[in-house]
Amino acid sequence: MTQALARHWGALVIFGLAALIPIVVRDAYFLDSLVLILLWGALSAAWNVAGGYAGQVSIGHAAFFGIGAYSAALLGTRWHQSPWLGMLVGVTLSLVAGGAIGYLSNRLKGPYFALSTIAFSQVLLIVASRWRAFTSGSEGIPVPFRPGFATLGLGHVAWVYLALSVALLYWGVQLWLEHSRFGYRLAGVREDEEAAQALGIPARRLKVIAVTTSAALTSVCGTLWAQYVGFVDPFYVFSVDLSVRFALNAIIGGMGTALGPFLGSILITSLETYLRATLSGLKSGFTGIYLIVYGVVLILVVRFVPEGLAGLATRLHARWVRANA
Amino acid sequence: MDPARRLGPAQIDVFAQLGVSTVLLGGIYALIAVGLTLIFGIMRVVNFAHGEFLMLGMYLAFWAFTLLSLDPWFVLFVSIPLFFGLGLVTYVLIMKGVIHASHNVQIFTTVGLSTALQNLALVLWSGDFHTVRPWHASTPIRMAGTAFNLSQVVAFFIAIALTVLLVIFMRWTHTGRVMRATAQDRDAAILMGIDTDRVYRITFALGIAAVGAAGVLVSPLYAVYPTAGLQFVLVSYVVVVLGGLGDMIGALIGSLIVAAVEVAGSYFFGTAWKEIFYFVLFIAVLVFRPAGLFGQRGAENLGV
Amino acid sequence: MRRHIPLAVAVLALTLTAWLTGATWGQGLSGEYKLGVLEPLTGPLAGEGKRHLEGFEVVRDLINERGGVMGKKLVFVVADVPDPTAAASEANRLITRENVKIVTGTFSSRLCGAASEAAARHNVIYWETSCVDPRFSKRGLKNVYRTEIDATGFGWYNIDFIVKHLAPRFNLKPSELKIAFVSEDSSYGQGVTESAVARAKEVGLQVVAPVEYYNFQTINDMTPIIVKLKQLNPDVVHHIAYTNDAPLFWRQAREQNFMFKALVHAGATGYGGSDFGKAVGNDGNGVFALLEPGPGFKLDSLKPEGQKIEKDFRDAVQKRTGSYPLGAHQLAGGGLWLLKLVLDKSQSDDPEKFRAAVMSLDLPVGTMINGWGVKFSETGQNANERVQHYMLQWQNGQLVTVWPEEFTTNRAKWIPLGAWDQRK
């Protein structure tokens, strides 16, 4: 038990802190940032299942996010159903959509696959923004806040624990992928698909399973996000920028590691909120600066620390062990 | 009832006009996609910042026009060496380090570059929309019941000329052959003593020069603002994939096909749906013929 | 040593915590009143967002010259909100970190929903000056107010103008007038256009075809739309455009020799923005845009208190930007001035007292900046009839006020438009 704890000390620190903070801190903005860090982290973890563990890098995951967000919003405003039901509907739809993307992943490689995922999310965007009769078109859907658990109308502290539960669950799913037979076979497919197939691993099926799971997990967070922020705007929920963001946290934190997405989310979300808060007060001409910094940081991290923060920590640790052997 | 559905003798003018628009729009897409085709075809890198270099070309034309009263057609000649240099610098500073890295690294490098460039433009030149209005931008040409714009026509012919030049370059010069060899099999090229770094450097620089020139040429036609690249960048990917990796003529034909799909789709179903048509076309091509309409089957797996 | 790594992580965690905690600027110096301002200063809406902020700043200075609000100097805490997540997040930050009791902004329909929800959850007053989403006021939120009319108001005014002012000059009865709708596809375009279509059908205009929507960010060629419309031969084209598509449509319509009797738009972007004039110059003569008042606006058509503040506002904007106030300036400025009037009456930012003051205000048209009046409904929406809007027309590179005629010295020209290149 202590062995396991020692191995996962990083997760213990992060999730432990997240659990303790709402008890100590009551500042709503801080809690809000914490919820966002956990949610973006969970979304990146969901992406990681397909991107990091299965090697299928998609820049269209916003498609599933949007499906989740719209399902909840539509069921809530049109048929007055609980967002939990909306979540289920979203998951079902995302499984289908994920299946389609999974099919594509078996036919396309690398940048082609990435481009096809972009196309997919943009098709959904156009449909959502034009189908006025059903989705209110470009005007989006305001999600009303109705207090209560069934309607996901929660206070900040409750949201922290909800987001934390989801984050822990997703972290667990990734860990399972690292230690289960399914996960080992998936890693084989990721590293060398042909060799894996030669060994009798059903590579195509595994990839589809990974992608559809990833889709469903993303959709759940989409639903949660919609209830948290309160407004579903098609140009945002289906945007390429958002898809990139999911991948970004995982890459910076460490693709293919369980904690990586969360590390990445901590860094990026904090950086973004901090920079935006600090720099937006400046003379309005300089407000784009934080985004320039953002872009440059991305280039640097992706080039010099490609294994991400988690990988970096492991690397440093190994170096220390060697130096002190 | 949608009036587009009625067909009769009066429609002939309509189709002629739509035909002309298709060809001219296709020319613009070709101009923009030619650089991307080169980079994607030879380096197998999807340059997500492609639209931003187009935007920079447009700004160059704008500032030259506003501050120095230079016509974009003149600035075109200056822009080619300028953007070639910019491409070299970008390659050495940013792309070189990731050319051998995994796809995700490459994707996110160019994505980061895209964000940085967009916001650099925003900070330097503000979010205001600018226009370049040389005399030829408001010069309509009317022929046989159709009407179009002189700037568009010139852009079209330059697109053709550029494509032809690049085809000649790729097919008949030594450097071109070397580039094609590297595209087909990088390892073999290295074994043959080819300096692949130099190949990539030139490829990238050429690609950026092409798109920078495109920016200058389209500046009289569209507004100039920091996110102007977004208008064209996704279409360019569709064109490149449709036409086949690295195939210039394929890109040209691909541009015409995409333009045709857009114009026809807009006319019969409404412009709001136009992107759906080429995205669906995109996915269809990817599923059924990922090598593109003119590429060799299986070519899409080389070097990927 | 192994020990170093936990230490490193701890340091990292602490650093991040420090970041998140950030510097708390507190309630500001005594003698200052902090107002939270949310505007998109980066991203695709940045151009208009910044002009909004400018309008706010100009009126803030005017307010401070007149003694500030509630005896204190008015200062802003500005936050950049490029998307809905940021809008909710930054609203939270301003409320909990900066302790603002009133949040204003946000210019765009995408943002006002999320921002106002966040404010409502904290029971903080939300004072919207520009977004036009009709559902904004229908959520039953007690402390959410909007000073500008919504999209239905725009559609209302436009059709009103067409029926009362244009149709007679074309010698057409409304039932004989053919109208075509073209629009950019964002929430603004859809909102205004759909309400205009509804009103057009109500008053019996002939709507010749379903609305031609397009995405302003990806539109490259308007020819298919223009060719379709040419065949339908409308009298009036109702086109809601953004900044890059308006000149594109106009240029291509001219190339195609698409003839129509009038083009009507609404709002401070597209045909209502200065960029259109810069892009097309005198070729743009004749286009109508529903906006806040422009040059030609007769000061003496306002009430005395309105004259004073409108003049000061115009002078201040002229001094700062070198030109007549633009739509964005006017919406922000008008909204802020109205906020000051409310605070003058309530002398408090307590939500109950504030609401009482808001509901008790009843000022006729002509009392404020832009010639507005005030009368809020129970839902927190300023009434259509009080938020006087004006039809402006491009005349020789300038947008001038032409309607209602009692408010302006200018008169509309080129009705009907006549041939291209002949509108001098």
Q: For A198-212, write each residue's pLDDT tens digit.
A: 888 888 899 999 999
Q: Could you tell me whether strands C362-363 and C288-291 are parallel, antiparallel, or unpaired per DSSP bridges? A: unpaired
Disruptive mutation site among C85, C144, C185 for chain A (greatest number of A CBs within 10 Å) = C85
- Lowest mean pLDDT of A24-28, A215-219, C168-172, C250-254, name the range: A24-28
pLDDT tens digits, one per residue of B186-221: 788 888 888 888 999 999 999 999 999 999 999 988
The CA distance from A63 to B236, in Å, is 21
Tell me whether A239 touches chain B (CB under 8 Å): no
Residue A44 one-letter amino acid: S
CB contact under 8 A, B231 and C255: no
Tell me which of A227 and C46 has the higher pLDDT: A227
How many other C-beta atoms are found inside a 10 Å radius of the C-beta of residue A110?
21
How would DSSP label each residue in B203-259?
HHHHHHHHHHHHHHHHTTTS-B-TTTTHHHHHHHHHHHHHH-TT-HHHHHHHHHHHH
pLDDT band, residue C3 (cuts 50/70/90): very low
Q: Which phi and psi angles does A259 have, rounded to 5°?
A: -90, -20
CB contact under 8 A, B271 and C248: no
CA angle B103, B107, B112 (to 5 degrees): 145
Tell me whether A271 touches chain B (CB under 8 Å): no
CA atoms within 13 A on the CB side of A19: 10
CB contact under 8 A, A292 and B272: no
Disruptive mutation site among B5, B7, B21 for chain C (greatest number of C CBs within 10 Å) = B21
For residue A209, being part of any structural domain is answered with yes
Measured between alpha carbons, how far is residue B231 from residues A112, B228, C246, C423 in Å? 21, 6, 15, 32
Q: End-to-end CA distance of chain A, in Å?
A: 26
The CA distance from A15 to A2, in Å, is 17
CATH number of B78's domain? 1.10.3470
Q: In the prediction, which pLDDT does A275 show?
A: 72
The CA distance from A55 to A210, in Å, is 10
For residue B72, being part of any structural domain is answered with yes
Does residue C17 surpass a pLDDT of 70?
no
List chain C domain ranges: 28-131+300-388, 152-292+390-407
User: Nearest chain A Cα to B100, which residue?
Assistant: A303
Tell me whether B137 touches chain C (CB under 8 Å): yes
CB contact under 8 A, C214 and B25: no
Distance from CA of C380 to the nearest CA of B (A): 32
CB contact under 8 A, C47 and B126: yes
For residue B129, being part of any structural domain is answered with no
**Any residues with CB less than 8 A from the CB of B91 and at least 6 apart, and which?**
B200, B201, B204, B205
Mean pLDDT of the region B98-126: 86
Q: In the prediction, which pLDDT does A136 show?
A: 85
Place of tokens 């057009």: C200
Distance from CA of C10 to the nearest CA of A (A): 8
Q: Above pLDDT 90, what percent of chain A?
A: 36
Q: In the prediction, which pLDDT does B137 show?
A: 80
CA angle A48, A49, A52 (to 5 degrees): 50
Distance from CA of A284 to the nearest CA of C (A): 7
pLDDT tens digits, one per residue of A78-87: 888 888 999 9
Disruptive mutation site among A59, A112, A242, A293 for chain B (greatest number of B CBs within 10 Å) = A112
Model confidence, pTM:
0.86
Distance from CA of B92 to the nearest CA of A (A): 13
The CATH number corresponding to C152-292+390-407 among 3.40.50.410, 3.40.50.920, 3.40.50.2300, 3.30.2010.10 equals 3.40.50.2300
Q: What is the mean pLDDT of chain B?
A: 85
Q: Check: CB of residue B58 under 8 Å from CB of residue B216.
A: yes
Strand-pair partners of A18: none
Q: In the prediction, which pLDDT does A161 show?
A: 92
Q: What HEC string does B25-39 produce?
A: HHHHHHHHHHHHHHH
User: Nearest chain B Cα to C278, which residue?
Assistant: B131
Distance from chain centroid for Cα B8: 37
State the chains in contact with C (3 or more Cβ–Cβ pairs under 8 Å).
A, B
pLDDT tens digits, one per residue of A140-192: 888 877 888 887 788 888 999 999 999 999 999 999 998 999 999 999 888 88
Place of tokens 């205000």: C361
Q: In the prediction, which pLDDT does B144 show?
A: 77
The SS3 of residue B149 is strand
For residue A182, being part of any structural domain is answered with yes
State the chains in contact with A (3 or more Cβ–Cβ pairs under 8 Å).
B, C
Distance from CA of B150 to the nearest CA of C (A): 10
Residue B3 one-letter amino acid: P
Q: Check: CB of residue C334 under 8 Å from CB of residue C293.
A: no
Q: In the prediction, which pLDDT does C7 show?
A: 47
The two three-digit tokens of residue C412, written as one number: 């509309």
In the sheet with C102-105, reading across from the earlier edge strand, the strands are C73-80, C32-39, C102-105, C125-128, C144-146
- Of the candidates C293, C283, C301, C298, the one whose C-alpha atom is nearest the C-alpha of residue C326 is C293
CB contact under 8 A, A13 and C135: no
pLDDT tens digits, one per residue of C168-178: 999 999 999 99
* Closest residue to A274, CB basis, from C19, C95, C191: C19
Bin C362: left if φ > 0, else alpha if -120 < ψ < 50, else beta. Answer: beta
The CATH number corresponding to C28-131+300-388 among 3.20.20.140, 3.40.50.2300, 2.60.120.680, 1.10.630.10 equals 3.40.50.2300
Does residue A10 surpass a pLDDT of 90?
no
Q: What is the mean pLDDT of chain A?
A: 87
Distance from CA of C200 to the nearest CA of A (A): 19
Q: In the prediction, which pLDDT does C25 show?
A: 42
- Which DSSP helix (H) or strand (E) runs through A117? helix A110-130
* Closest residue to B119, CB basis, from A123, A291, A297: A291
- Lowest mean pLDDT of A287-291, B58-62, C79-83, name the range: A287-291
Q: What HEC string does chain C produce?
A: CCCHHHHHHHHHHHHHHHHHHCCCCCCCCCCEEEEEEEECCCCCCHHHHHHHHHHHHHHHHHHHHCCCECCEEEEEEEEECCCHHHHHHHHHHHHHCCCCCEEEECCCHHHHHHHHHHHHHCCCEEEECCCCCHHHHHCCCCCEEECCCCHHHHHHHHHHHHHHHHHHHHCCCHHHCEEEEEEECCHHHHHHHHHHHHHHHHHCCEECCCCEEECCCCCCCCHHHHHHHHHHCCCEEEEECCCCHHHHHHHHHHHCCCCCCEEEEECCCHHHCHHHHHHHHHHHCCCEEEECCCCCECHHHCCHHHHHHHHHHHHHHHHHHCCCCCHHHHHHHHHHHHHHHHHHHHCCCCHHHHHHHHHHCEECCCCCHHHCCEEECCCCEECCCCCCCEEEEEECCEEEEEECHHHECCCCCCCCCCCCCCCC
CB contact under 8 A, B270 and C278: no
* Closest residue to B283, CB basis, from A57, A119, A298: A119
pLDDT tens digits, one per residue of B255-266: 999 999 989 988
For residue B126, being part of any structural domain is answered with no
CA angle C348, C78, A25 (to 5 degrees): 80
User: Nearest chain B Cα to C248, which residue?
Assistant: B222
Q: Check: CB of residue C221 under 8 Å from CB of residue B20.
A: no
Disruptive mutation site among B108, B113, B128, B261 for chain A (greatest number of A CBs within 10 Å) = B108
Tell me whether B129 touches chain C (CB under 8 Å): yes
Looking at the 3D structure of chain A, how many domains does it have? 1
Tell me which of B116 and B230 has the higher pLDDT: B116
How would you class A206 by CB atoms within 10 Å of its CB: exposed for 0-12, middle for 13-18, buried for 19 or more?
buried
Q: Could you tell me whether strands C212-214 and C236-240 are parallel, antiparallel, or unpaired per DSSP bridges? A: unpaired
Q: In the prediction, which pLDDT does B53 show?
A: 96
Instruction: Collect all residues of chain B within an 8 Å Cβ-Cβ radius of residue A285.
Output: 123, 126
CA angle A127, A132, A134 (to 5 degrees): 85
For residue B9, being part of any structural domain is answered with no
Tell me which of A109 and C232 has the higher pLDDT: C232
The two three-digit tokens of residue C201, written as one number: 């059908």
Q: In the prediction, which pLDDT does B246 show?
A: 67
For residue A143, being part of any structural domain is answered with yes
Does residue B7 surpass a pLDDT of 70?
no
Distance from CA of A205 to the nearest CA of C (A): 36
Domain residue limits at B115: 16-121+134-301
For residue A296, being part of any structural domain is answered with no
Measured between alpha carbons, how far is residue A96 from residues A84, A101, A103, B128, C271 in Å? 19, 9, 11, 43, 44
State the chains in contact with B (3 or more Cβ–Cβ pairs under 8 Å).
A, C
- Of the candidates A249, A251, A253, the one whose C-alpha atom is nearest the C-alpha of residue A272 is A249
* C-alpha torsion B171→B174→B180→B184, nearest 10: 130
User: Nearest chain C Cα to A142, which residue?
Assistant: C113
The CA distance from C239 to C258, in Å, is 14
Instruction: Collect all residues of chain C within an 8 Å Cβ-Cβ radius of residue A62.
Output: none
**Any residues with CB less than 8 A from the CB of B93 and at least 6 apart, and which?**
none
Tell me whether C219 touches chain B (CB under 8 Å): yes
Q: In the prediction, which pLDDT does C27 show?
A: 44
User: Nearest chain C Cα to A233, which residue?
Assistant: C110
Looking at the 3D structure of chain B, how many domains does it have? 1
For residue B86, being part of any structural domain is answered with yes
Distance from CA of B93 to the nearest CA of A (A): 11
* Closest residue to B227, CB basis, from C44, C223, C257: C44
Distance from CA of A293 to the nearest CA of B (A): 7
Instruction: Collect all residues of chain C within an 8 Å Cβ-Cβ radius of residue B267.
Output: 224, 227-228
Disruptive mutation site among C93, C116, C181 for chain A (greatest number of A CBs within 10 Å) = C93
Q: Above pLDDT 70, what percent of chain B?
A: 92
The CA distance from A224 to B191, in Å, is 54
pLDDT tens digits, one per residue of C299-315: 888 888 888 999 999 99
